[in-house]
């Protein structure tokens, strides 16, 4: 019974998102950008659907294969891009405008993101990170980079524009 109810609730939420998106398409004027709401439980960005920032994170000239890049706007956290094993990241739905760019050695969990955004705490079931722990030498480098470019200390800045864009994040450990 609980499973059927959960499936029904999920179907209703999905249908509501589809209807809102369809209404936005029908009401949009030619040449006007269509803004659709971010999906619940993950999309904390409020930028245009076609805004995607990609890039490579390097530290001392070498790709840094762990961590996360954060875009922090005037209202706080605006986007996060997890760094892959090749040092590349991508962040979508980041609002346009000037951003502070920070690096951390580990991405935020979904639970941490929701709490930072002022949403109700979704509980410990949301404390997961889809990123394996890095080897010790990589972790040392990542922690050194985080000490210089974490949210409280970073001097990195980037202005987000609408549409796809590339922003390579070059860090130093010293």
Residue ranges per domain, the chain? 1-37, 38-171
Give the Cα separation of 92 and 111 in Å (integer).
Answer: 19
Mean per-residue pLDDT over the chain, rounded: 75
* pLDDT: which is higher, 1 or 68: 68
Split at pLDDT 50, 70, 90, the class of 122 is confident
pLDDT given for residue 127 in this prediction: 72
Question: Within 10 Å of residue 50's Cβ, how many Cβ atoms?
Answer: 12
Tell me the average pLDDT across 17-38.
38
Give the Cα separation of 120 and 131 in Å (integer).
Answer: 24
Give the predicted TM-score (pTM) of the model: 0.67
- Options 3.40.50.720, 3.40.50.300, 2.60.40.420, 2.60.40.1120; CATH for 38-171 is 2.60.40.1120
Split at pLDDT 50, 70, 90, the class of 42 is very low
pLDDT given for residue 135 in this prediction: 87
């Amino acid at each position: 019974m609980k499973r059927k109810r959960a499936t029904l609730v999920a179907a209703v939420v999905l249908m509501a998102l589809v209807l809102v998106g369809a209404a936005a398409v029908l009401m949009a004027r030619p040449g006007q950008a269509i803004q659709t709401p971010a999906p619940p439980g993950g999309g904390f960005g409020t930028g245009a659907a076609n805004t995607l920032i990609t890039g490579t994170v390097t530290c001392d000239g070498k790709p840094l294969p762990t961590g996360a890049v954060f875009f922090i706007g005037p209202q706080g956290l605006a986007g996060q891009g997890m760094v892959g094993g090749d040092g590349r990241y991508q962040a979508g739905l980041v609002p346009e405008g000037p951003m502070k760019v920070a690096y951390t050695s580990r991405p935020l969990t979904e639970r941490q993101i929701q709490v930072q955004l002022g949403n109700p705490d979704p509980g410990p079931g949301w404390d997961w990170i889809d990123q394996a722990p890095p080897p010790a030498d990589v972790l040392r480098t990542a922690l050194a980079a985080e000490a210089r470019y974490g949210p409280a200390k970073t001097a990195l800045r980037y202005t987000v524009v609408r549409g796809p864009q590339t922003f390579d994040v070059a860090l130093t450990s010293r």
